[in-house]
Chain A
Amino acid sequence: MFRDEHADPGALRGTTIAILGYGLLGRPLALNLRDTLEARVLVGSDDEPSSRQARDDGFHVTTLAEAAAEADVALVLVPDEVQPAVLARIAPRLRARTLLVFASGYALANGLVVPATDLDVGLFAPRMGGDAIRERFLAGRGYLSYVGVEQDVTGTAWTRLLAIAAGAGSLRQGALEMSAREEAVLDLYVEQACGPWLGAAILSAFHVGVEAGLSPLGLLLEMYLSGEMSETFSQMARDGFLSSSRAHGYAAAFGGMTRTFAIDREGMAAHMREVLTEIENGGFARALQDEFEAGYPCRAFIEQVIGEDDLLSRTEAAFRAM
């Protein structure tokens, strides 16, 4: 585990750090790096609302290509599927020996970008959402991240990468070494194998309970609205996944464990293996790139489901208005 004592933030003194993309991750990382490092932090963005936000935050803002051209270190913080197109635009402008840092291994792992051989290439992938990255930084706390060096032509890639991770506030808690490929597979696998089962469990429990006459609000409070469930997840992280069940009393362990035996885990595992295969063989990446290149034809459908005026969303809204 890398921590602050392993990094030398002074390694970036007097250099130019380009934040390419000023969205969910770009903004907090730019703010943290500016607050910490004795370096010039500038923002590259081709998106007007993001550029305006960056200017309001006091950054010098240029286009992605111009920012890349000035960078000693360039952090690629645009969405995964957009990275190949952005890299194609900025690649001719990057100077030799620049450290190109990705916050996600997706594009590298799937061969969607192939950085020039005269660049250093690293991974700094925070395991925390953007808002929390800034909040934790301001509170003096860190957050976990993955770091890795994919290409080191200068011999300084690790030093500069750890200086970025420290400056961004992560090493107060720690960073684990990981390759871009492993990070990409892990991230997509957990999102696509575990996330849907959790989501489907909540939706099914809600609708079955409502059909049986249980209170819609009561169901949502039990599952997540009260915050008890998020506290349970924190407890798992703190005390251990299995042993945290002791904190909920014997009735919860007795009922929960017996019901878990009855779940079709074989079917669940088979589904998860299919998901993993499609991620590992590049099938998911091809589908996502097709979706991007075709102008996101599935987005309207996905937004329709997310924005559906379902009883669940109406119950949440009523609770927030109380």
Chain B
Amino acid sequence: MPVRPHAQRPEFLGGGGDEVSALMGRVIERLDGRLDADQRRQLAAAMPAILWEFPDTGARVQLVATPAALCCVSAGDTPSLVVRMPLGTLHDAAFGRCSLAASFLAGRITVRGMSPTRLREFILLVDPLLESFREAAREHSSSAAPAPDVS
């Protein structure tokens, strides 16, 4: 699947960084529900803090993983990984309009701190994260206008 040359910031997000942070908070809540205890433990051991930077919105959101739960905090402690990608790319990947692999090849996604010791746990997150984003974005758009283009 080709990468869209300029993934756009999702139209339903009008409020900037704070709105993105709120959306990502709901994404991480859902992600928490999708991981079992073993997966949560693996994640907490390999990368207890993941910072997401969305340069197209200015938002920075940190996922903190403990064996008990995942939670979302505003950027704080030194993260184990820093994922930098446009929110538009995450949105397009979640709704099947671009592939994360193609976005990575095109240089739209960087993961600072990635190493062979963390790849397995990182991969574990990808599909549940996309599903969680899709759900959270749909819910967000149903409570805001205009509706997202999820065709």
Q: CB within 8 Å of A: which of B1-53?
A: 1-3, 5
**Which applies to chain A's interface (DSSP): helix, strand, loop or mixed?**
helix
A304 touches B120 (CB 8 A): no
**Number of A interface residues in the complex (CB < 8 A):** 27
Q: Is the CB of A278 within 8 A of B2?
A: no
In-complex Cβ contact of A298 among B2, B101, B123 (8 A): B123
Residue of A nearest to B115 (CB): A278
- A260 CB to closest chain B CB, in angstroms? 20
| CA distance in complex: A129, B77 (Å) | 45
CB nearest neighbor in A for B104: A305
Beta-carbon contact of A278 and B117 below 8 Å: yes
Q: Tell me which of B105, B116, B126 contacts A203 (CB under 8 A).
A: B105
The residues of B that contact A204 with a CB separation of less than 8 Å are 107
User: How close is A288's CB to chain B, nearest CB, in angstroms?
Assistant: 7
A287 contacts the other chain (CB 8 A): yes
Asked if A287 and B101 sit within 8 Å, CB to CB, the answer is no
Residues on the B chain within 8 Å of A211, using CB: 5
Contacts of A95 in B (CB 8 A): none
Assess A294 versus B120: contact at CB under 8 Å? Given A308-B102, A310-B105.
yes
Cα-based distance from A310 to B106 in the complex (angstroms): 9
Contact (A284, B116) CB under 8 Å given A308-B101, A309-B2: yes
A207 to B99, CA, bound (A): 15
Give the Cβ gap from A289 to chain B, nearest Cβ, in Å.
11
Output the nearest chain B residue to A208 by Cβ-Cβ distance: B107
Scoring B3, B5, B104, B106 by chain A CB atoms within 10 A of each residue's CB, the highest score goes to B106
Report the separation of the CA atoms of residues A188 and B105 in the bound assembly, to the nearest whole angstrom: 22
> Nearest-CB distance from A181 to chain B (Å)?
19
Q: Is the CB of B116 within 8 A of A278?
A: yes
Please determine whether B117 and A283 come into contact, CB atoms closer than 8 angstroms: yes
Cα distance, A42 to B105, chains bound together (Å): 44
Interface digits, B48-63 against A, CB 8 Å rule (1 contact, 0 not)? 0000000000000000
CB distance from B106 to the nearest CB of A (A): 5
The answer to whether A308 and B105 touch across the interface, beta carbons within 8 angstroms, is: yes
Between A288, A310, A311, A312, the greatest number of chain B beta carbons within 10 A of the residue's beta carbon is seen for A310
Partner of B123, one of A286, A287, A297, A308: A297
Which residues of chain A come closer than 8 Å to B2, judged between CB atoms?
309-311
A residues in contact with B3, CB < 8 Å: 310
Given contacts A297-B123, A298-B123, A309-B2, contact A203 B117 (CB under 8 A): no
Q: Give A268-311 as 1s and 0s: 1 = Cβ < 8 Å from B's Cβ atoms.
A: 00000011001000011011101100100110010011001111
How does the 8 Å CB contact mask read for B108-128 relative to A, with 1 for contact and 0 for none?
000000011101100100100
A284 to chain B, nearest CB (A): 5
Alpha-carbon gap, A283 to B119, bound state (A): 13
B123 and A305: CB pair below 8 A? no
A278 to B113, CA, bound (A): 12
Q: Are A297 and B5 in contact (CB under 8 A)?
A: no
List the B side residues contacting A290 at CB < 8 Å: 120
Instruction: Out of A207, A291, A304, name the residue touching B107 (CB < 8 Å).
Output: A207
Chain B residues lying within 8 Å of A274, measured Cβ to Cβ, are: 115
Contact, CB under 8 Å: B116 / A288: yes
Contact A203–B120 (Cβ < 8 Å): no
The answer for the CA separation of A297 and B121 in the assembled complex, in Å, is 10
Q: How far is the CB of B126 from chain A (nearest CB, A)?
A: 8
CB distance from A29 to the nearest CB of B (A): 28
Q: Is the CB of B120 within 8 A of A298?
A: yes
Query: Could you list some 29 contacts between A and B, CB below 8 A?
Result: A200-B107, A204-B107, A207-B105, A207-B106, A207-B107, A208-B107, A211-B5, A274-B115, A278-B116, A283-B115, A283-B116, A283-B117, A284-B116, A286-B117, A287-B117, A287-B119, A287-B120, A291-B116, A291-B120, A294-B120, A298-B119, A301-B119, A301-B123, A305-B104, A308-B101, A310-B2, A310-B101, A310-B102, A310-B105
7 smallest beta-carbon distances between A and B, as pairs: A287-B116, A308-B101, A287-B117, A305-B101, A207-B106, A301-B123, A204-B107
Chain B interface residues (CB < 8 Å from chain A): 1-3, 5, 99, 101-102, 104-107, 115-117, 119-120, 123, 126
